[in-house]
């Protein structure tokens, strides 16, 4: 008679052994899932335009504008969607412009906001505000300024000023 006990296999023993077999499968599945999650987070954090009701003026508190960051807006003018940007500089100056250069607006070229800048649909470079560059505005890839009013506390962009600016762009 032997004093060695033979243990019957329990369900826990097979689970302990099987998880080691499943570990590589779980790692392989985790990689595409984490990449998908990163892409979704990036899409959610990109700038999407704040939509305005057609004909409404934009009123913003200037202290709520983060410096050196583009704030993207969209409105409708004569049945066409118009995107424009607002940026406050470190020196507290505020720029407002159509989110396209003259060429891209006329040719309906698609441009995009990338890394805090509007990228030209023609030359694929970042565009500056016209007021910050002393260049020939007719042939350059600069954002077309929209007239606006600024006080210490507020910024006002009139719907009629947006309409007049894009009407001029379409005629040039």
- Can you name the CATH fold of 50-171? Rieske Iron-sulfur Protein (2.102.10)
pLDDT digits (tens, 9 = 90+) for 1-27: 556 666 656 556 665 666 677 778 788
pTM of the model: 0.65
Q: Given the DSSP bridges, would you call strands 50-51 and 70-77 parallel, antiparallel or unpaired?
A: parallel
- Domain borders along the chain are 9-45, 50-171
pLDDT tens digit string along 87-118? 888 888 888 988 888 877 777 767 777 777 78
Helix then strand then coil, in percent of the chain rounded to 5, is 35, 25, 40
Query: Band of the pLDDT at 147, cuts 50, 70, 90?
Result: very high
CA–CA gap between residue 10 and residue 61 (Å, rounded): 69
């Amino acid at each position: 008679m032997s004093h060695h006990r033979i243990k019957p296999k329990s369900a826990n023993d097979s689970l302990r052994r099987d998880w080691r077999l499943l570990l590589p499968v779980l790692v392989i599945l985790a990689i595409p899932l984490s990449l998908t999650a990163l892409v979704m987070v990036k899409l959610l954090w990109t700038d999407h335009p704040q939509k305005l009701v057609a004909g409404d003026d934009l009123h913003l508190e200037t202290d709520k504008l983060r410096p050196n960051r583009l704030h993207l807006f969209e409105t409708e003018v004569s049945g066409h969607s118009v995107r424009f940007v607002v940026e406050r500089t470190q020196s507290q100056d505020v720029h407002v412009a159509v989110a396209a250069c003259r060429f891209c607006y006329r040719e309906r070229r698609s441009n995009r906001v990338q890394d805090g800048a509007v990228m030209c649909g023609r030359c694929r470079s970042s565009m500056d505000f016209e007021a910050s560059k002393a260049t020939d505005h007719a042939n350059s890839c600069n954002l077309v300024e929209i007239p606006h009013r600024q006080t210490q506390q507020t910024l006002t962009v009139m719907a009629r000023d947006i309409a007049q600016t894009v009407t001029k762009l379409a005629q040039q």
